[in-house]
């Protein structure tokens, strides 16, 4: 499907980073609501599974990278009250909108390609819909590997390209018609919600992301597909 935003998926480097920051700045207030609507509320269960697969030990140190409004960090706090959690994102407006006085965790402005944290610091690094948007996926994986303790776990929740199947036409309609229409009605930002399907289709397949994780040094890499093959959770250990 042609449109004004499709070429944006071809941007690289600083230009792409600035564009993505602009997208998430503009949709920050509607971000959580749109996630619920786009997934029929299923993303809540996916986030709980991310925390479960992180297998946090008592008093664990956890990095929620690309934390956005802090959903994953709050699920982690609810499931692991003793965990020491840092929620990090490079879009300040997302954190400003999401931050709540009751949050019992730290917030940090951070670029996934150059994390402001020491090496071997965290027991787990988790992310929700981050990897599709980073400029250099291999570097982002290497940075997450660096800040993990030996034996630490990485868990990634993101979109993935589904394999062709009987539902493919309906998936295309949902991605290219339903989501942009909802986004326009709720936020007035049709371009931002056209970027979502375009960037999802340009992203790695589940198998390709698993291979990139292996190349970054991760061990025991696994993944599962969700929502008719359009979402995947990946996990691995350092």
Domain membership of residue 107 (yes or no) is yes
**Number of domains present in the structure of the chain:** 1
d(CA 60, CA 86): 11
Residues 6+ apart with CB under 8 A from 47: 71, 72, 75, 128, 157
d(CA 197, CA 182): 13
Q: Does the structure show a pLDDT above 60 at 166? A: yes
- Full residue range of the structural domain in which residue 215 is found: 34-164+203-237
d(CA 2, CA 24): 22
pLDDT at 4: 38
pLDDT tens string 92-147: 999 999 999 889 899 999 999 999 999 999 999 999 999 999 999 999 999 999 99
Q: Does the structure show a pLDDT above 50 at 177? A: yes
Measured CA distances, 185 to 1, 19, 131, 172 (Å):
20, 22, 27, 19
pLDDT > 70: percent of the chain: 95
Q: What is the largest CA-CA distance in the chain?
A: 50
Domain membership of residue 8 (yes or no) is no
Domain membership of residue 183 (yes or no) is no
For residues 19-39, average pLDDT = 85
pLDDT at 10: 62
Domain membership of residue 49 (yes or no) is yes
d(CA 140, CA 137): 5
Confidence of residue 2 (pLDDT cuts 50, 70, 90): very low
Domain membership of residue 219 (yes or no) is yes
pLDDT at 47: 95
Domain membership of residue 72 (yes or no) is yes
Q: CATH number, domain at 145?
A: 3.40.50.150
Domain membership of residue 91 (yes or no) is yes
Domain membership of residue 39 (yes or no) is yes
Confidence of residue 9 (pLDDT cuts 50, 70, 90): low
d(CA 114, CA 67): 16
Q: Does the reported pTM lie above 0.75?
A: yes
Closest CA to 114 of 143, 146, 142, 76: 143
């Amino acid at each position: 499907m042609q449109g004004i935003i499709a070429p944006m998926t071809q941007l690289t480097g600083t230009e792409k980073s600035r564009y993505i920051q602009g997208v998430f700045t503009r949709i920050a207030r509607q971000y959580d609501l749109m996630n619920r609507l786009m997934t029929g509320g299923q993303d809540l269960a996916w986030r709980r599974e991310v925390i479960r697969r992180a297998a946090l030990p008592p008093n664990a140190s956890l990095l929620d990278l690309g934390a956005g409004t802090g959903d994953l960090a709050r699920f982690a706090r609810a499931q692991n009250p003793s965990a020491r959690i840092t929620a990090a994102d490079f879009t300040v407006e997302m954190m400003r909108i999401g931050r709540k006085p009751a949050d019992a965790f730290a917030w940090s402005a951070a670029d996934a390609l150059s994390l402001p944290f020491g090496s071997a610091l965290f027991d787990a690094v988790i992310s929700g819909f981050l990897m599709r948007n980073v400029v250099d996926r291999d570097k982002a994986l290497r940075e997450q590997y660096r800040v993990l303790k030996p034996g630490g776990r990485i868990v990634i929740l993101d979109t993935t390209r589904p394999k062709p199947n009987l539902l493919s036409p309906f998936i295309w309609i949902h991605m290219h018609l339903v989501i942009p229409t909802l986004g326009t009605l709720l936020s007035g930002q049709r371009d931002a919600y056209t970027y979502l399907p375009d960037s999802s289709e340009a992203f790695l397949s589940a198998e390709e992301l698993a291979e990139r994780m292996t190349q970054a040094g991760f061990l025991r890499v696994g993944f599962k597909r969700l929502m008719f093959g359009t979402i995947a959770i990946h996990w691995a250990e350092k």
